[in-house]
Amino acid sequence: MSMSALAETDEEVLRVANSKAWKPFSYINSDGQPDGILIDLWREYGTRNKVEIEFILLDWNESLEAVKSNRADVHAGLLWSEPRDEFFDFGDALINIETQLYYSQAFIGFDVDELLKGKVEQYVGVVKGGYEEYFARKEFPKANLKVYPNNELLINAAFKGEISAFVAVLQVANFYLYSSDDPMSFVPVKYLYSGDLYPAVAEGNRPMLDAVNLGFKKIGTATRETILHKWIHIETVYPQHFFPTVVGVSGLVAMLYIIMLKRTVKARTRELELVNEKLTVLSTTDELTGIKNRRCFMDAIHQLDTQSESLTVMVFDIDNFKSVNDNWGHAIGDEVIKEVAQSVESILTPSMLFGRIGGEEFALVVRELSKESAIDLAQSVCLKVSAARMQVECNTHISVSVGCAFYPNGSNEVDLVTADKLMYKAKQQGKNRSVVELIE
């Protein structure tokens, strides 16, 4: 479906894919209908943009394949990862999620690190194609993983004793555990990561992605909060029988562990402080390059005063990057991304906002430049990368294409779309160059 079709046609259908068993974000309810937070958000999107939404809810990995194979136009919401970035273009953030490792109460007291190092004969469950599987294989390569098609089957397997632990989004695990007859059978024992869910389209479908981003801007913060509030309402996520159960169990647990807690509370408090410090860094910094990540960068530019002075917005990415990954592997690709970021950062000042907004894509926002200085900076970015002596050998000349939108009188809102389109003009003109346009 084209961007114009999304914007102007009442009869077109937008096919939106996601999981069929990912409560409370997306699932098929007891009436056989799509339901969940993301479902409600996309229904609101359809209403605001006069587009009919057709939901395609499948097992998680199949939902990704549906977008890749054009059975679906867009994925409703997923985390960004490097492997996914090869196949998808990601939109603006929708919802933030947190993921934990859940361990059976029967094994509390065992060393979790031994489990993650594969030194005990216990399985850790993950969902096939989910970010949880990608993260577990990357961070805990020796763990004994067992893969399931969706979260419902995963947690059912945990109840049956097939696995001793599983990796799951906090909200998802809570929904399934606390609507069961044994909500305390598995407990979170280790924070793993947090991140934003983004809508995603097949790689290269920029018109669709631009339309989706613009369409979601029509949904105000109040409406989004109303949808979220509906789904975190206590009777929606936690059944009525949950609280009497928790009160009884909590009382017993408190009696058994109170002495131990008194002895360890000081150490645990410091441990939590260190974790919080680490989480603050993780939530704002791109792990690979050390510069601002997409979420932190977008938050920063939205807080800028951009109306009283000139504004320069640049988007650039690495030319022919896919061939680097294909020919030399992702490890070399990561090193190239890191060195490009370091090269560009070396010519910037602390007041300039610089971030990694996608796999090999970066953005730069600067205030108070003249048009001539903006042009010079855009050219300097190209020249610096092109002339950089890469520490990795991939027999490929590394360069970037830069799109630069210059607003002489500032802008009511910082928008990366215009600069992104100019970047593609630079690629069409031969790459390793910048295209600068004055935006009145």
List the CATH number of the domain containing 211.
3.40.190.10
pLDDT over 50 at 8, yes or no: no
Q: Is residue 64 part of a domain?
A: yes
Same domain, 223 and 301: no
Classify 378 in phi/psi space as left (phi over 0), alpha (psi -120 to 50) or beta. alpha
The mean pLDDT of the chain is: 85
Domain boundary among 224, 239, 254: 239
Contact of 383 with 333, CB cutoff 8 Å: no
Same domain, 227 and 308: no
Residue 413's pLDDT band (boundaries 50, 70, 90)? confident
Contact of 370 with 436, CB cutoff 8 Å: no
Residue recorded with tokens 């007859």? 181
Q: What is the DSSP string of 139-159?
A: H-TTS-EEEESSHHHHHHHHH
Same domain, 298 and 231: no
Same domain, 165 and 301: no
As to burial, measured by CB atoms within 10 angstroms (0-12 exposed, 13-18 middle, 19+ buried), residue 121 is: exposed
Same domain, 47 and 135: yes
Q: What are residue 361's DSSP bridge partners? A: 317
Q: What pLDDT is recorded for position 259?
A: 46
Q: What pLDDT is recorded for position 256?
A: 42
Q: What pLDDT is recorded for position 181?
A: 81
pLDDT over 80 at 42, yes or no: yes
Same domain, 37 and 145: yes
Residue 268's pLDDT band (boundaries 50, 70, 90)? low
SS3 86: coil
The CATH number assigned to the domain holding 306 equals 3.30.70.270
d(CA 251, CA 54): 47
CA angle 62, 65, 69 (to 5 degrees): 140
Same domain, 326 and 221: no
Same domain, 364 and 219: no
* Residue, of 337 and 266, whose pLDDT is higher: 337
Domain boundary among 199, 224, 239: 239
Domains contained in the chain, number:
2
Domain boundary among 221, 239, 257: 239
Which residue range forms the structural domain that includes residue 370? 294-438
* Residue, of 414 and 369, whose pLDDT is higher: 369
Q: Is residue 283 part of a domain?
A: no
- What are the C-alpha distances in Å from 48 to residues 8, 214, 215, 222, 230? 12, 11, 8, 14, 19
Catalytic site residues? Answer: 360
d(CA 4, CA 51): 11
Which amino acid would we find at residue 366?
V
* Residue, of 276 and 371, whose pLDDT is higher: 371
Which amino acid would we find at residue 154?
L
Which amino acid would we find at residue 357?
I
Give the pair of three-digit tokens for residue 104: 């059976």
Q: Is residue 289 part of a domain?
A: no
Closest CA to 405 of 311, 318, 316: 311
Residue 312's pLDDT band (boundaries 50, 70, 90)? very high
Residue recorded with tokens 């029988």? 241
Q: What are residue 353's DSSP bridge partners? A: 365
My answer on whether omega of the bond before 24 falls inside 30° of 0, hence cis, is: yes
Give the pair of three-digit tokens for residue 277: 């410090």
Give the pair of three-digit tokens for residue 203: 């790689």
Mean pLDDT of 12-23: 94
Q: What is the DSSP string of 363-405?
A: EEEEES--HHHHHHHHHHHHHHHHH---SS--SS---EEEEEE
Same domain, 221 and 87: yes
Q: What pLDDT is recorded for position 331?
A: 86
